Amino acid sequence: MGTESEVSIIISFGAGLLTFLSPCILPLFPSYITYITGKSFEDMKTLAHASNIRRVTAVHSLFFILGFSIIFVLLGVTVAYLGSFFGIRRIWLERIGGGLIILFGLHISGLLKLKFLMLERKLVYHRRKISYFSSLLIGMVFAVGWTPCVGPILSSILIYASTQEGLPRAIMLLSFYSLGLGLPFFLASLAINQFLSMFNRFKAFMKFVPIVTGIFLIFIGAVLFSGHFQVLFR
């Protein structure tokens, strides 16, 4: 695997990780866990059935992660296909895509406010019973729902994937984006009590996450826009 491919994987995985740490996801993580498992925090703290609760939580989390991963990869396939279908030259994809990613970075960092990115769309799934399949559906609904800070990061990765040559490359990048979001989600679900303790200490640093994410996206966008991505990371 070449250096450019390795850097692309790191970028996608890093974007997924920053998505998990964003104010739209991290503070709400405990709510996601209780919703998909049907277990309360009191149940999770019960030592008598700790191993069983941990198993149930792990499996439900995996189905939830699989749900949003399917949607993210399908979005990547769609964007890559549209780019090839319309025969858009890579240089124009890099110029336009890089500019959009820079705008997303400026928005997330707080330097620029784009009203259309601050609109929040939510799809609500009313589950009738707790099941692994319902957790899969909730994950898919979560992926389709558009939130102010997840949207720009996901859009940036989709745009970045569209500049890569070949459908398998787009699938790979969105898979690693999903892994970057899903891995910390899964690990935190296995140790929910420890997560709550760590989160209380991490709260003070939450305000820096959008700034770091914004700088990350501006850098990626600038490199793409300049057309020097392959030169820098070959």
Distance from C-alpha of 56 to C-alpha of 135, rounded to nearest angstrom: 11
- Token pair 């990626």: residue: 220
HSE of 74 in the Cβ direction (CA atoms, 13 Å)?
9
Q: How far is CA 154 from the centre of its chain?
A: 6
- Angle, CA 79 vertex, CA 76 and CA 81 arms, to 5°: 105
Q: Tens digit of pLDDT per residue, the chain (234 long)?
A: 456 678 889 999 999 999 999 888 888 888 888 888 877 766 666 654 567 778 888 899 999 999 999 999 998 888 877 766 656 677 777 888 889 999 989 988 888 877 756 555 555 555 657 888 989 998 988 887 766 667 788 888 888 888 776 788 889 999 999 999 999 999 988 887 788 778 878 877 888 899 999 999 999 999 888 876 665 555
CA distance 116 to 91: 27
Structure tokens at 186: 């899964």
Pair of tokens at residue 76: 């990547």
